[in-house]
Amino acid sequence: MTERSYVDLKREVWDAGLCARCGACVAVCPADALFFPPAGEGGSPLSPASSGYCKRETDGVPCGACYRACPRAGDRIPGRSLLGESRAVVAARAAFPVPRKQSGGAVTAILQSALEEGTIDAVVTVTADPWTLKPRSAVITDAGVLAAHAGSRYNWQVPLLAALKDAVVERKYRNIAVVGVPCAVQAARTIRESDLDLLRPFARSIRLIIGLFCTESFDYARLVEGALRRDRRIEPWTVRRLDVKGALEATLEDGTIVSIPLAELASCIPAGCTTCTDFAALDADISAGAVGSPEGLTTLIVRTPAGMGFVNRAIAAGALETSDEVALAPAERLAARKAARGT
């Protein structure tokens, strides 16, 4: 591949409105020159910014890490099958209570079991302030803390993979699980398969990638501060859970469910999200979501030998329970709807 720099990344991805805001470029920049500016009243920035320094452009030193880590750069937005390849598809749930779980708590069960066993030493994921719902990328190393932060986050305030720098470079973790929506999964897979020397420390450290089903992702400021708080007088601390089931469903602490048609939330969806055609996180080791399984269970699409190994070890440890009560037709319909964006 011809060596590229952040200048090429900016032209091809950022300026073209294709940035997924996954944070991969921020994590791998060896000069710490890329960052996301703070969110303003209009929402989060659509792409990163640069300090102006670039090893390649400023000093002529070979680099290209940011470009090579980006899942939207070059010719990396291919046509994909709807649900992808799989070794197994099961409905699953945690065999222990998981507070605030999104569906069956299966992802938490797999990760908690792996942390306790030592097959992973850290989880890069998104957590949220329970009072404001404001999210942040985080590195979690404690099983109890992991369970306390269970549940999907339907916003983009903090790019997930930016935390990889903290996990790999600063804290030296070497057996990391990454949990995220398809754009972050694509970036993690891109990094893990790269042969670029500057990306190898990250590639060697990503042991497991878990992807979450995703129809849409939302900007925190526009969704929570705007559509919920300003437009519908729903305070964030009254929201127990957000879920997308054809519409955005906000389950409140008193049990009330507020359903908002996605058409009314179009302005809350970042531009980079509208180009994504991947519903089922096709590049993950394990993909997970509520669609396709009975209430209280999580659909798991196990794609790789590593993913199968983690699922089997969680079952053997008594952390995960599975069944074959899966109907993939609803997931296929949602995947087809999202794939249609690319036609």
Q: What is the pLDDT at residue 270?
A: 87
Number of domains in the chain: 2
Q: Is residue 260 part of a domain?
A: no
Q: What is the pLDDT at residue 313?
A: 98
Q: Is residue 262 part of a domain?
A: no
Q: Is residue 315 part of a domain?
A: yes
Q: Do 103 and 175 have their domain in common?
A: yes
Q: Do 277 and 151 have their domain in common?
A: yes
Domain closes at, from 17, 38, 69: 69
Q: Is residue 263 part of a domain?
A: no
Average pLDDT rounded to a whole number, residues 48-62: 91
CATH number of the structural domain spanning residue 53: 3.30.70
- pLDDT surpassing 80 at residue 100: no
Q: What is the pLDDT at residue 155?
A: 56
Q: Is residue 304 part of a domain?
A: yes
How far is Cα 138 from Cα 124, in angstroms, rounded to an integer?
6
Q: Is residue 170 part of a domain?
A: yes
Q: Do 321 and 177 have their domain in common?
A: yes
Nearest CA among 93, 84, 110 for reference residue 281: 84
List, for residues 56-98, the tens digit of each pLDDT value.
Answer: 889 989 999 999 999 999 875 555 689 999 999 999 999 998 8
Q: What is the pLDDT at residue 343?
A: 56
pTM tops 0.85, yes or no = yes
Q: What is the pLDDT at residue 154?
A: 59
List, for residues 168-223, the tens digit of each pLDDT value.
Answer: 999 999 999 999 999 999 999 999 999 999 999 999 999 999 999 998 889 888 99
Q: What is the pLDDT at residue 124?
A: 97
Q: Do 54 and 154 have their domain in common?
A: no
Q: SS3 string of the chain?
A: CCCCCHHHHHHHHHCCCCCCCCCHHHHHCCCCCEECCCCECCECCCCCEECCCCHHHHHCCCCCHHHHHCCCCCCCCCCCCCCCCCCEEEEEEECCCCCCCCCCCHHHHHHHHHHHHCCCCEEEEEEECCCCCCEEEEEECCHHHHHHCCCCCCCCCCCHHHHHHHHHHHCCCCCEEEEECHHHHHHHHHHHCCCCHHHHHHHHHEEEEEEECCCCCCCHHHHHHHHHHHHHCCCHHHEEEEEECCEEEEEECCCCEEEEEHHHHHHHCCHHHHHCCCCCCCCCCEEEECCCCCCCCEEEEECCHHHHHHHHHHHHCCCEEEECCCCCHHHHHHHHHHHHHHC
Q: Is residue 19 part of a domain?
A: yes
Q: Do 193 and 127 have their domain in common?
A: yes
Q: Is residue 78 part of a domain?
A: no
Q: Do 55 and 199 have their domain in common?
A: no
Q: What is the pLDDT at residue 215?
A: 87
User: Higher-confidence residue: 103 or 336?
Assistant: 336
Predicted confidence band at 153 (pLDDT cuts at 50, 70, 90)? low
List, for residues 290-322, the tens digit of each pLDDT value.
Answer: 899 999 999 999 999 999 999 999 999 999 999
Q: Do 158 and 198 have their domain in common?
A: yes
- Which domain covers residue 12, as residue numbers? 6-69
How far is Cα 194 from Cα 187, in angstroms, rounded to an integer?
11
Q: Do 136 and 197 have their domain in common?
A: yes
Domain closes at, from 69, 97, 124: 69
Q: What is the pLDDT at residue 25?
A: 97
Q: Do 139 and 196 have their domain in common?
A: yes
Q: What is the pLDDT at residue 80?
A: 63
Q: Do 323 and 279 have their domain in common?
A: yes
Q: Do 62 and 92 have their domain in common?
A: no
List, for residues 209-266, the tens digit of each pLDDT value.
Answer: 999 999 888 988 899 999 999 999 999 999 988 888 778 999 999 999 999 998 999 9
Q: Do 212 and 147 have their domain in common?
A: yes
